Amino acid sequence: MKSDLIDAHLHLRFETDGAVLAAEDQVSMDTFWLPKSQCDVGDAEIPGMAVVAMPEWLALEKGLI
């Protein structure tokens, strides 16, 4: 991946082999799919959350920045 990565703390709702379904907060009904091929999904200290590193263009596309 490229060096211009954005880290986002997200709530994971569902995961497949190729993508994760995430939301910005625990109660939000607004979810979005993130392709694992474009992201690095790491563990966060809070269960159900993850730190997701993604390219800036993807964060912009999903409305995270």
Q: pLDDT tens digits for 18-48? A: 999 999 988 888 999 999 999 999 987 888 8
Query: Residue 11: which CATH number?
Result: 2.30.30
Domain span holding position 19: 5-61
Question: pTM here?
Answer: 0.85
Average pLDDT, the chain: 90
- How many separate domains does the chain show? 1
Under 8 Å CB-to-CB from 58, ≥6 apart: which residues?
A: 34, 38, 39
- Type and span of the H or E element at 54: strand 49-55
